[in-house]
Amino acid sequence: MTPPLLLLDGASLWFRAFHGVPESLTSPDGRPVNAIRGFTDMVASLITRERPNRLAVCLDLNWRPAFRVQAVPSYKAHRVAEAGGEDAPDQLAHQVPVILELLAAAGIATAGAQGLEADDVLGTLAAREQHDRVVVVSGDRDLLQVVADDPVPVRVLYVGRGLTKAEMFGPTEVAERYGVPEDRAGAAYAELALLRGDPSDGLPGVAGVGDKTASRLLLAHGSLQAVRAAVADPSSDLGNTLRAKLIGASGYLDAALPVVQVVCDAEVELSKDDVLPNEPADAAELDALAARWGVQSSVGRLRKAMNEVRQ
């Protein structure tokens, strides 16, 4: 199998590393390094597992984009801190810049798009790939909408339950797990999330429509557009109660679809080309960072993985 383009959802992975590795792991000066160690180990494991020749860690340059908030004010509102930023653990805050420094010294590309989330960066890089198969790694189910078979295979390695229990999703797996049409499984998953709602993102969904009803609607009609056409057709067999619910939610459905859908044509900027090197870009800096933060073993595993996969 040809080596893939490996796209990592940065914040999703380092949040999971932070919560999955004990805070008792500290640097020589006593600060927690659990996210640094966990994230670095995760990247090393993913390189060994997927053997990519290209790799980019995708970043949130805006975790709550204005256009999404304007459309649905409740979007991620429950995750806003009192100071106005994202509500994140204090012990994680100092670790993220270190992770970015380690990636730069290692020579691993980061990618972002002004005003947009990592989801949009991942969606854009996956959509514009014409040559290599793509593996997107995230603990966010929203990314299941990027699965595809054409023009190249795009798969999502879902790590919501940890890397050891990771699941690989393509269109077939998304269709089977969530009950959506396989021929447009990615787009249909986004429509499913819109209909049923997503509490983790503050999306209310259509009142009274859960997973089963949303799946039944999409399987019966093929798409949200076709469902809404059936709502407008008095002769369709939707039933009066369900029709009334969907009519009542028409404003929400109009506004929220672009909120749920990842942007696939963003202006993505890469810190460097995405070719995965077999040696660090700045070995001396990488070693200095590893010593300063007491993460020599994790950095050693990353260097080993990079060297072995490119041989």
Q: Which amino acid is at 266?
A: A
**Per-residue model confidence as pLDDT tens for the chain (311 residues):** 789 999 999 999 999 999 999 999 999 999 999 999 999 999 999 999 999 999 999 999 999 999 999 999 999 998 898 777 788 888 999 999 999 999 999 999 999 999 999 999 999 999 999 999 999 999 999 999 999 999 999 999 999 999 999 999 999 999 999 999 999 999 999 999 999 999 989 999 999 999 999 999 999 999 999 999 999 998 998 989 999 999 999 999 999 999 999 999 999 999 999 999 999 999 999 999 999 999 999 999 999 999 998 66
CB contact at 8 A, 76 and 64: yes
In the chain, list all ranges with CATH 3.40.50.1010: 5-172+262-309
Domain 5-172+262-309 classification at class level: alpha beta
Which tokens in the block code for residue 135? Answer: 């593996």
Fold of 183-260: DNA polymerase; domain 1 (1.10.150)
Interaxial angle between packed helices 10-20 and 118-128, expressed in degrees from 0 to 180 and rounded to the nearest 10 = 130
Which tokens in the block code for residue 247? Answer: 């009519």
CB contact at 8 A, 256 and 205: no
Closest CA to 304 of 54, 101, 26, 43: 43
Residue 295: how many CB atoms within 10 A of its CB? 23
In the chain, list all ranges with CATH 1.10.150.20: 183-260
The number of C-alpha atoms within 13 Å of 272 and in the hemisphere containing its C-beta is 13
pTM: 0.96
CB contact at 8 A, 277 and 302: no
